[in-house]
Amino acid sequence: MKLENHSIITEFILEGLSDSKEFQIFLFVIFLYIYILTVSGNVYLILAYRLSPNLHNPMYFYLANFSFLDICYITGTVPKMLSNFLSEQKTISVSGCAVQMYCVWLFGGTECYILAAMAYDRYNAICHPLLYNVIMNNVICTQFIIGSWIIGAGNSLIHTILTFSLTFCSNKINHFFCDVPPVLELSCTNTWINELVIFLISGCVIIGSFIFIMISYIKIISSVLKVHSRSGTRKTFSTCTSHLIVVTIFYGSGIFMYFRPKSSYGMNQDRLVSIMYTVIAPLLNPFVYSLRNSEVKLAMKSILHKLIKL
């Protein structure tokens, strides 16, 4: 729908994932279940960390912060999507769209650097075990978390301001949330500056942190291979493989979505790709990083045992 004379747009229409009412009910049930499962799994880890003194170390400090971030990340998109499945008017105000875009990019950018911090933590734990507590002290860990949020906030603010400085000729967003590429599709003006900024600034955030993670894991695997212990090698490879699967899903889908020219955007396929890093990755993270961890399981059993006694 083209708006004549470039009239001021006060709201957008989110077209979502499907036009079929029957299929939308099915999708509502599926995504509601995923949302509850994701939030529950991440709350599970946060409680385990907070209530178990034996988990008060850098690794679980990062995991608890990562879980909180995942709850925020999936909450930035799924609740609105769920309400739209049951609503005839799938609208969102311009200000609401800007807030959603800012939040999604904030949480996504922050997650990139917390993942990098977690990889660096594992590198020091495995490659420099004697100096681990000195290198990864409380001050350094806190600085990594704060720095990740600052980078995420700055990156998000730049993209949101540039995007909503454009003039829009249509108010139909062919997506299930307000993301930069589908909103750029609505612009009447040239968006080459926006695309350039995505390549330059987001390239530093996404590609930079991804390269850092890969280097950390390569050094970890190289260090483990030098130790002639089959059980230790098998355990480390199993852990690294699980972590790298989540990293690949998150970064692979994000890179595919944002590092292409506007002319190659295909929103039907891009909506599916977006689900991978906004919904599937937060769902998998609790299972890969924590629920498969024996220390977390023991901590939760201990907490439940104490609660039953009360």
Which of 53-67, 161-175, 197-211, 230-244 comes out lowest in average pLDDT? 230-244
Average pLDDT, stretch 132-158? 94
Structure confidence at residue 81 (pLDDT):
93
pLDDT band at residue 2 under the 50/70/90 scheme:
very low
What pTM was estimated for this model as a whole? 0.89
Instruction: Evaluate whether residue 112 is within a structural domain.
Output: yes
Q: Are 52 and 303 in contact (CB under 8 A)?
A: yes
What is the extent of the structural domain holding 276?
Answer: 7-309
Instruction: Evaluate whether residue 2 is within a structural domain.
Output: no
Structure confidence at residue 232 (pLDDT):
60
CATH code: domain of residue 175: 1.20.1070.10
pLDDT band at residue 231 under the 50/70/90 scheme:
low
End-to-end CA, the chain: 61
Instruction: Evaluate whether residue 1 is within a structural domain.
Output: no
Instruction: Evaluate whether residue 42 is within a structural domain.
Output: yes
Across the chain, mean pLDDT equals 85
* Predicted confidence (pLDDT) at residue 221 exceeds the cutoff of 70: yes
Residue 13 bridge partners (DSSP): 91, 172
Q: Return the higher-pLDDT residue of 30 and 264.
A: 30
Measure the CA–CA gap between 50 and 64, rounded to whole angstroms: 8
Q: Are 208 and 109 in contact (CB under 8 A)?
A: no
- Number of structural domains (the chain) is 1
Residue 273 bridge partners (DSSP): none
